[in-house]
Structure 1
Amino acid sequence: MIKYLTFSDLDDRLIGQYRNGINLAFPDVILNSQVTKKYWSRLEKYFPQTQLFIVSDDNNLIGFMNAIPLFWDQPLSELPNEGWDWLLKKGINDFENEIEPNSLGGLQIIVAKGYLRKGYSKLLIENGKKVKENLGFKNFIIPIRPILKYKYPEMKMKDYMNLKENGEIMDPWIRTHMKSGAEIIKVCENSMNIIGDINFWEGLLKKEINRSGGYRVQEALNLVTINIEDDFGEYREENIWISYM
């Protein structure tokens, strides 16, 4: 038996499991996002009803989806290159400026390690679609982060997303969304953007940086571009805009 909860329903124990689930799901480079640090608490405060949780009968967190309402009246093909960062900021700014939303944006879907490969991610997707319908929204859009792309950080997303294995899309997360009825819109090439000085990037790389160029960071989808002369490094993560109508 499982329970469906929103953020308002969580007790302190489940909130702890939720926070830990996020920390375990992403590499350090993503957890250092300044956009997340600035806006995430407002997401939970403003939109507790669109933060969806599946909980076991013994009160353990199985998985969750974070989503945000926003207004978008242009063709989906014109969704911005900024992707995830834009989505979080747009939903928060729309709410604070009293702009009525007409779309739901999916920020992440995470399933706890002990519950993987049991269909819970598909269940969360289906519940996200139900939230979109219940709110009377036009679109459900998500900048997805393909889970095996980190193995190919030098490959462009437009090439990676078309890799096939046994006649199917190779990446399991892209494949799951396609089988759930999603349509691919386009690649958003700067979906998440993290910048910092050389000391910041040396901390993430855990080694000294002594040349400019592209560097691999653990589990990052793309290379980090380092400029020694300017004491500056930038990570631009490519995601894929998808939609459920």
Structure 2
Amino acid sequence: MQQTFTDYDVYTRRENSPKQDLIWETHMSGEWPEYMYHDVFSDIYMPDYFQLCVDSMFYICDGLDVIAHGKAIPVYWPDDLAALPDEGWDWALKNGIELARMGGTPNMLSALEMVIAPAFRGKGLSQIGLKLMRQIAIEQGLHQLIAPVRPSQKHLYPLIDMQDYITWRRQDGFSFDAWLRTHERMGARIIKVAPHSMIIEGTVSEWGEWAQMPFPGSGDHIVPLALQPVSIDLEADKGVYVEANVWMVHELGT
């Protein structure tokens, strides 16, 4: 898949060198809030992802610098898209890894992640990343790209239900949210909310470290960059964050 998009080079993980891995860690680590690295299913399945999905993960490079990175995964879903699982991101990762372990046949590609270095945001890399995911799906003989999308501005409105948030529209008819809007402009449509897309659990102390804030009382707490409040129970010494995402689909033709 090695190719050039305007001024940028693209490599899949299969093509990627150890040196680029090092540069990636240097420039791109820490792009998610710490708590996002502690999803229950990610801890179980992500280690295998890097071994089993080397053709579905890519790096966008400016010279030797990795400036953006995307993950997708082939999955199998036998039913109508309107019935896509409420577990969203967690389901896609689990389904794809278990399918690959069994040598099963996927029928669609699911996006997992698109991360862009801060200095390169606003330069069209999100569109390039989606084009690459669409191309990966086509090269693998798949006709749909689905995505449990994490809306980029939802964290500014953590008390708004996701079902209501996705109804917010601009005067031009596109979604209010920039990341949902990027998908729509490339032909995707919203299918449904995935209300339990990611589940992150930890002790109260762990949540204090992850969120860099104290939790002096039980209840629902607004945490930086979280899309919804985090539920803290001091007596049980437990914090739970259940994140809703938005299922979208790109039809790629036959």
TM, length-normalised to structure 1: 0.92
Runs of 4+ in 1 over 6 A off after TM superposition: none
The aligned residue for residue 176 of structure 2 is 170
CA RMSD of aligned residues (A): 1.8
Assess, with a 3 A threshold, how the Cα gap between structure 1 residues 182 and 65 changes in structure 2: closer, same or farther: same
Change (3 A) 1:214 1:105: same
- The separation in 1 between residues aligned to 2:239 and 2:116, in whole angstroms, is 32
- The answer to whether the 8 A contact 1:27-1:219 is kept is yes
1:188 aligned to which of 188, 194, 201: 194
Q: Which residue of 2 aligns with 1:42?
A: 48
Aligned counterpart, 1:4: 10
- For the Cα contact (< 8 Å) 1:211–1:228, is it kept in 2? yes
With over 3 angstroms needed to count, the CA separation of the structure-2 counterparts of 1:21 and 1:218, relative to structure 1, is farther
- Give the fraction of aligned pairs with identical amino acids, expressed as a percent: 29
Q: Which amino acid aligns with 1:100?
A: T
Query: Which residue is 1:78 aligned to?
Result: 83
Q: How does 1:1-245 map to 2 (within 5 A)?
A: 1-20=7-26, 23-56=29-62, 58-167=63-172, 168-245=174-251
Once residues 238 and 37 of structure 2 are traced to their aligned partners in structure 1, the CA distance between those partners, rounded to angstroms, is 19
Q: Letter of the aligned partner of 2:177 in structure 1?
A: D
> d(CA) in 2 for partners of 1:9 and 1:54?
12
Gaps of 5+ in 2: 1-6
Contact persistence 2:152–2:178 (CA under 8 A): yes
- CA 1:112–1:242: 2 relative to 1, 3 Å: same
Q: Which stretches in structure 1 are left out of the alignment for 5+ residues?
A: none
Query: What secondary structure does 2:14 align onto?
Result: helix
SS in 1 for 2:29: helix
Q: Relative to structure 1, is the Cα distance of residues 103 and 20 closer, same or farther in structure 2, using a 3 angstrom cutoff?
A: farther
Report the TM-score when normalising by structure 2. Answer: 0.89
Equivalent position amino acid for 2:156 in 1:
K
Moved more, 14-23 or 82-91: 14-23
Q: Do the aligned partners of 2:12 and 2:54 also contact (CA within 8 Å) in 1?
A: yes
Q: 2:28 & 2:189 partners in 1: Cα distance? A: 26
Q: Shift of residue 235 of structure 1?
A: 0.1
| Partner Cα separation in structure 2 for residue 111 and residue 212 of structure 1 | 35
Whole-angstrom distance in 2 between the partners of 1:19 and 1:38? 21
SS at match of 1:24: coil
CA contact (8 A) 2:24 2:65 kept: no
Question: Aligned-pair distance for 1:20?
Answer: 5.0
Q: Deviations over 1:165-196 (max 9, x none)?
A: 45442211011000011010100011110012
Deviates more, 1:82-91 or 1:18-27: 18-27
